[in-house]
Structure 1
Amino acid sequence: MLTVKLQDDNFVKWNFQFQSVLRGYDLLDFFTGDNPCPPNYVIHTESGVTKEMTAAYKNWVKKDMALLSLLIATLSDDAMEHIIGCKTSQEAWSALQDRYAFISVSSINQLKTEFHTAQKGGDSIDKFLLKSKAIRDQLISA
């Protein structure tokens, strides 16, 4: 299902593909933080916090680790360097967003220049339009 691996030059494509799958399975909330980790220990009204783990916590961790594994499987070796040490899918997602989604001002200016100076040249019109759309998508992402 996920055919694009994240590299330095394809964040927009990768992000679109990855989020589409997550939305399809209603799992994006693990990555955005809208599905926080439940309390890990059972709390009794009489005795307070126990050493017994809650079923909700165990299930959440199991699902989150599976999602983190899925995320890792879609990363190139270089991209994986940015999430080493992350303990949850949300931590990894945030690290990738910080690294790839927020492009510097100089990169934005470079993309704008590329967009405004793009020429068809010997390319087919389809290829030219795809290149223009890719630059536009990167600008929108930034």
Structure 2
Amino acid sequence: MEKEKPANNSPPHIASTSSPQNTSTDLISINATAQLPLKLTHLNYPSWRAQFNALLFGYDLMGFVDGSKSCPPSTIMNDGKPTPNPDFALWVRQDQLLLHAIIASTSENIMSFIASAKTSREAWQKLAHLYANKSRSRVMSLKDRLSSLSRGTKSVSEYLQLIKTTADELAIVDSPLDDIDLVIYTLNGLGPEFKEISAAMKAPENPITFEELYDKLIDYENFLKKEEMSHDATVLTANFTRRSNGQGHTAKKCYKLHPPSEPMVNFTSSNRLAAQD
């Protein structure tokens, strides 16, 4: 039997184990580098899982990780005698290709948690248990994290990404936030620079979704940056003008504070009289 080779391009490598017409015996090898560019870290499980789910649904492979496509028996009866089941061998090969894709799409510090997994489903469940624990303490921990998040020195985009990531983790553990709660959490952590827009967004007559809030906050951040640049330019111009008007006019040289001495006056008058003679 031909040895399975990994794919080198974006599309999966499909190797037929029998006739080209029998598509049920095709093996799909996922190129993790090209098709799963987002590696799993301890911060991005929701995004990573969404990326992987789309690929599994697209290639009709979700049954391997959710258990709906269970492993067939290793042998079947043929003329009353047990013989190797070709479907078993095919299932094992496809499952191992999926297990490889899962391992290859995780960061090195997470890989150790699934290194002992024998099937793709086992690896999938280990990750779900690690990051999608549905316990009450997990929900409380995530909500506490959300309530304590603040923008600080982060950009609006970075701050909103942290908010959204935490909200996604809550959704995974069956405790999703509605838009009102998400908007309130976001506005509370913006800081004093955004107090005007925060007050406007909290007004009951102005309901807003998180996506709409994202756009408005980005626009407001750009407005604040322009205001700051304009203020800096005004201060710079004022300082330059003040220095230019007073150039060479220091306290030591000020004739109002230090008028010419009397000898200097007499000397000037004597010279003027001498010139007249």
Report deviation, 1:3. Answer: 1.1
**Structure 2 gap ranges (5+):** 1-34, 174-277
1:135 maps to 166
Q: Distance in 1 between matches of 2:151 and 2:130?
A: 32
Is the counterpart of residue 9 in structure 1 residue 71 in structure 2?
A: no
2:261 maps to none
Q: Which has the higher contact order (CA 8 A, sep 6+)?
A: 1
Is the counterpart of residue 47 in structure 1 residue 83 in structure 2?
A: no
Report deviation, 1:11. Answer: 0.9
2:63 maps to 29
* 1:46-85 residue CA offsets vs partner (Å, 9 max, x unmatched): 534x2x3111111111111111111111112222212222
**Structure 1 gap ranges (5+):** none
1:65 maps to 96
Please, which moves more after superposition, 57-66 or 98-107? 98-107
Q: How many residues align?
A: 139
CA contact (8 A) 2:71 2:91 kept: yes
Other structure's SS at 2:144 match:
helix
Q: Distance in 1 between matches of 2:157 and 2:108?
A: 32
Please, which moves more after superposition, 19-28 or 78-87? 78-87
Q: Scaled by the length of structure 2, what TM-score is found?
A: 0.46
Q: Distance in 2 between matches of 1:92 and 1:127?
A: 31
Report deviation, 1:106. Answer: 4.0
* AA of the residue aligned to 1:47: G
Identity %: 33
- CA-based RMSD of the aligned residues comes to 2.0
Q: Distance in 2 between matches of 1:87 and 1:120?
A: 43
1:116 maps to 147
Report deviation, 1:127. Answer: 3.5
